[in-house]
Amino acid sequence: MKTLIDKIILVILLLAFLTSIFLIFAWVPPIKASNPAEQIAQRIFYYHVPSAWIGFLAFFVVFIGSIAYLWKRERKYELLSVASAEIGVLFITLVLLTGPVWAKPVWGIWWTWDARLTSSLVLWLIYVAYLMLRRYLPDGNKRANLSAVVGIIGFIDVPIVYYSIRWWETQHPKAVMASSEGGLAAPMFFVFMFSLAAFTLLYVYFMRVRYKLLVMEDSINKQIKEMEIL
Amino acid sequence: MLKPSLAIVQKDLRMEFRSKESILAMWIFSLLIFVIFNFTFEVSRLVMLEIAPGLLWVAFIFSGMFGLNHSFAVERENGNLRSMALMPVTGGSIYLGKFLSVTIIMLLFETLIFPIFVIFYDLQLTATLFLLIPVILAGTIGFTSLGTILSAVSVHTRNQQILLSLLLWPLVSPIIIWSVNLTSMVLAGEILTNFLPLLIRIIAFDVIFFTISFMLFDYILED
Amino acid sequence: MSEIALHLDSVSKDFGRIIALRGINLDVQPGEFVSILGRNGAGKTTLLNIISGISTPSEGEVLLFGTDPAASSNKSKLAVISHEMFLYSNLTAVENLEYYTQMYRVEGMEDKISSVLETVELTHRRFDLVSTFSRGMMQRLTIARALLHDPQFLLLDEPFTGLDQHAIAMLTTILKGQKAQGRTILLTTHDLHIANDLSDRFVVIDKHRVVYDAAVGALGVDELRSRFFSAEGAQS
Ligand SMILES: Nc1ncnc2c1ncn2[C@@H]1O[C@H](COP(=O)(O)OP(=O)(O)O)[C@@H](O)[C@H]1O
Ligand SMILES: [Mg+2]
């Protein structure tokens, strides 16, 4: 059921990620670090940070989809929210996995109860709970309503989680994009933006596929019902 | 608007006080938390004072979970939640009623737990200790305003209790973290300049969560 | 009272892949007593839930007294008796009723409560916890609770289940009284004789659709039974 657009996106994605691997490992100059392991590990940054950003974007879509559902009561908004929540959890999982890959050589530990790490974990837990809730409920209005409510409250909580835990000392590297000291060097910035674009496209692709699958599931269920009724 | 909410509070408190043994059980349970913690972490008095605020909130949260589960188990028996959806009252006033009764019960538990805490950790009863009252109030209201709506969400599932924990704990963690921070300041007797801003922040989020839940509660009642 | 009490226009309801109702059309006039018959799983309870507004149809339109069933103006006109008791077992009979009068803003609370308790013959047990009641007594208290706010429209989902002969006679009398006062009543039951005795009209739902809708007397009880509830063709 892949449309031409899906196929085109898939090809672009393939090229984009191959290019990004080339850019990250062969093209962009390594950072200046005393520790050679850190020079290598730093490259994960180009996947780690875009994953986090896309995770946020995905949860924002859950939020908007949930509001739209409660307002319009249309199935498509429910499906959109679920698809986005699943994909968001996937991306935050990537964040939680790529983080330790960097932390081990640089900090010498896989995990620490640092502000950024803890808040990402809490974020992940919120949306895993959202998905769990849906698993526990039978399909129907009730489930759509309840998960929309959690989708809304969950997203409002996101900035609060980040805000609250920032109160702690953080070892986590500064948000380089926003820092005042000039930010990233030009080639690094380029590679980062390239990677971000690739991840955004990946999100779009996943959304299209997952959403279509959910719609298909619905239509199969409908056909089964029509058969049963005869 | 307020009348039906108060009717819910009256009914809930009546039932709660009728089962005094559950209040006693809760009290003993929190005692156990302190005891077990002492067994499992044989720490020096200095460290103990450092983790005491966290411990206090752990006991509070358990009592809150206990109250929430109880309060909504009662609504589930005999389809009372459905009956509420049939009544000529808004979802908001039902939310307010349940929120009030859960909050009152949790505050009651906390009042019972706190003296044990004072004795076990040999707290000096200084004047600054009164600053704990707004801290506990703000933290508790944050917990119950989120806890009430999430209980109403999870009560529709078979695994109500586990799901409530899964939903509530991550969502309420910011408020708990701040409450623990503030409690540490008060217990250490060092009221930092950010005490008031932090307290105001908790209150602000209490208001946000309460308002959102109040508005969304109608959607939870309908089928 | 000229306005139609209930109007359903091609109402369907699904629970995910489970079908509950298909294309239900039904009009009920004020003061009418309609019995809804059908096998287990036919969709009767779902239909009553949609009428009471706690469940929204997947498709179609429902109008109760000309508006959305969930409208607040409808809620105080409506009473529901279902297999769920809507009672708190840790409260006494009177406390349960007090709670209901507060929620429904019933005037003259005490008189009202003693009169409904009288009607269901529970006055002597009024200060006992509901948890000490037998099923039949709880059912009677449920009936009392439903009558507290003088509802215009009664939705009764198998209210006779679990009642003894005496209580059945009591409920029958109560329902006749309600009908005499001009209340609109929708009843689901498996007892064709009681339904025949009480109602103006029969509606039979089979496999989620209305398959029969006619005034009482159009078909006799035995004929109805053999047409819709015979053993052959019985399903799970
Ligand atoms: N909340 C629900 N979730 C899923 N399926 C349901 C739900 N309520 C009813 N159903 C299904 O809808 C169909 C009709 O049920 P119901 O209206 O209870 O029938 P009846 O009251 O006539 O016995 C049944 O197949 C039942 O399993
Ligand atoms: Mg039924």
Residue given tokens 């995905």 in the structure block: A58
C51 in any annotated domain? yes
B136 pLDDT above the threshold of 80: yes
Residues of B in contact with C84 (CB under 8 A): 78-79, 82-83
A133 at B interface, C-beta within 8 A: yes
- From A126, A136, A145, residue closest to B171, measured CB to CB: A126
The H or E element spanning position A61 is helix A45-72
How many domains does one find in chain C? 1
Instruction: Find the DSSP H helices in B77-159.
Output: 80-86, 91-120, 132-154
C41 in any annotated domain? yes
Q: Partners for C (CB, 8 Å, 3+ pairs)?
A: A, B
Asked if C19 and A221 come within 8 Å (Cβ–Cβ), the reply is no
Tell me the pLDDT band of B10, cut-offs 50, 70 and 90: very high
Task: Give the pLDDT of residue A22.
Answer: 80
Return d(Cα A120, Cα A142) in angstroms, integer: 29
Q: Which atom of ligand 1 is nearest to the CA of A142?
A: 1
Residues C16-64: pLDDT tens digits? 778 899 999 999 999 999 999 999 999 999 999 999 998 889 899 999 9
Task: Give the pLDDT of residue C236.
Answer: 36
Ligand 2 centroid–CA C93 distance in Å is 26
Residues B156-210: pLDDT tens digits? 898 888 999 999 999 999 899 999 999 988 888 887 788 898 899 999 999 999 9
Task: Give the pLDDT of residue B46.
Answer: 67
**What average pLDDT values come out for chain A (230 residues) when binned by 10 residues?**
85 89 77 72 83 94 97 94 97 92 80 80 95 92 94 91 64 57 70 89 94 92 76
Asked if C55 and B80 come within 8 Å (Cβ–Cβ), the reply is no
Task: Give the pLDDT of residue A189.
Answer: 82
The H or E element spanning position A212 is helix A186-229
A178 in any annotated domain? no
3-state class (DSSP) for residue B119: helix
Interface confidence, given as ipTM, is 0.91
**A72, A141, A222: best mutation site toward chain C, by most C Cβ within 10 Å?**
A141
Asked if B78 and C89 come within 8 Å (Cβ–Cβ), the reply is yes
Q: Partners for B (CB, 8 Å, 3+ pairs)?
A: A, C
A31 in any annotated domain? yes
Contact B128, B186 (CB under 8 A): yes
Q: What percent of chain C has pLDDT over 70?
A: 97
Phi, psi of B213 (to 5 degrees): -65, -40
- Strand C153-157 to strand C78-81: parallel, antiparallel, or no bridges (unpaired)? parallel
Owning domain of residue B215:
2-222
Give how far Cα C136 sits from Cα of C115, C122, C130, C132, C170, Å: 19, 11, 11, 12, 12
C232 pLDDT above the threshold of 60: no
C83 pLDDT above the threshold of 90: no
Give the global pTM.
0.90
Contact C199, C34 (CB under 8 A): yes
A1 at C interface, C-beta within 8 A: no
Return d(Cα C68, Cα C56) in angstroms, integer: 10
A181 in any annotated domain? no
- Site residues for ligand 1, CB cut-off 6 Å: A 138; C 15, 18, 20, 38, 40-46
Q: Which atom of ligand 1 is nearest to the CA of C49?
A: 17
Asked if C55 and A141 come within 8 Å (Cβ–Cβ), the reply is yes
Asked if B166 and A137 come within 8 Å (Cβ–Cβ), the reply is no
Task: Give the pLDDT of residue A180.
Answer: 46
Return d(Cα A54, Cα A67) in angstroms, integer: 20
3-state class (DSSP) for residue A128: helix
C170 pLDDT above the threshold of 50: yes
How many domains does one find in chain B? 1
3-state class (DSSP) for residue A9: helix
Q: Nearest C-alpha of chain A: how many angstroms from C129?
A: 32
Amino acid at C94: V
Task: Give the pLDDT of residue B36.
Answer: 83
Quick one: closest CA in C to A220, which residue? Answer: C17
Ligand 1 centroid–CA C199 distance in Å is 24
Asked if A153 and B173 come within 8 Å (Cβ–Cβ), the reply is no
**C17, C46, C236: best mutation site toward chain A, by most A Cβ within 10 Å?**
C17
Q: With CA atoms as reference, report the closest residue to A163 among B183, B208, B51, B205.
A: B205
Owning domain of residue A219:
4-172+186-229
Chains A and B: how many Cβ contacts under 8 Å?
A: 85
Nearest-CA residue for ligand 1 atom 8 is: C46
How many domains does one find in chain A? 1
Query: In this structure, what DSSP letter does residue C108 have?
Result: S
Task: Give the pLDDT of residue C64.
Answer: 95
Asked if B177 and A164 come within 8 Å (Cβ–Cβ), the reply is yes
Contact A11, A58 (CB under 8 A): no
Instruction: Find the DSSP H helices in chain C.
Output: 44-52, 72-75, 93-103, 109-119, 135-147, 165-180, 192-198, 221-228
B41 pLDDT above the threshold of 80: no
Position with higher pLDDT, A229 vs C95: C95
Task: Give the pLDDT of residue A168.
Answer: 56
For the segment C154-176, the average pLDDT, to the nearest whole number, is: 92
C92 in any annotated domain? no
C175 pLDDT above the threshold of 90: yes
Which ligand number lies closest to the CA of residue A138? 1
Task: Give the pLDDT of residue A171.
Answer: 63
For the segment C200-218, the average pLDDT, to the nearest whole number, is: 89
Ligand 1 centroid–CA C124 distance in Å is 38
- A107-117 per-residue burial string, b: 16 or more CB within 10 A, e: under 16: beeeeeebbbb
For the segment C169-180, the average pLDDT, to the nearest whole number, is: 94
Nearest-CA residue for ligand 1 atom 10 is: C20
Question: What are B's interface residues with C at a Cβ cutoff of 8 A?
Answer: 3-4, 6-7, 10-11, 14-15, 18-19, 74, 77-80, 82-83, 85-90, 221-223
SS3 content of chain C, % helix, strand, coil (to 5): 35, 25, 40
Asked if C17 and A139 come within 8 Å (Cβ–Cβ), the reply is yes
Owning domain of residue C197:
1-71+184-236
For the segment C96-125, the average pLDDT, to the nearest whole number, is: 93
Q: Nearest C-alpha of chain B: how many angstroms from C141?
A: 13
Asked if A161 and B153 come within 8 Å (Cβ–Cβ), the reply is no
What CATH number should be reported for the domain holding residue C222? Answer: 3.40.50.300
Nearest-CA residue for ligand 1 atom 18 is: C45
Q: With CA atoms as reference, report the closest residue to A136 among B70, B218, B160.
A: B160
Q: With CA atoms as reference, report the closest residue to C34 among C212, C233, C231.
A: C212
- From B11, B15, B88, residue closest to C75, measured CB to CB: B88
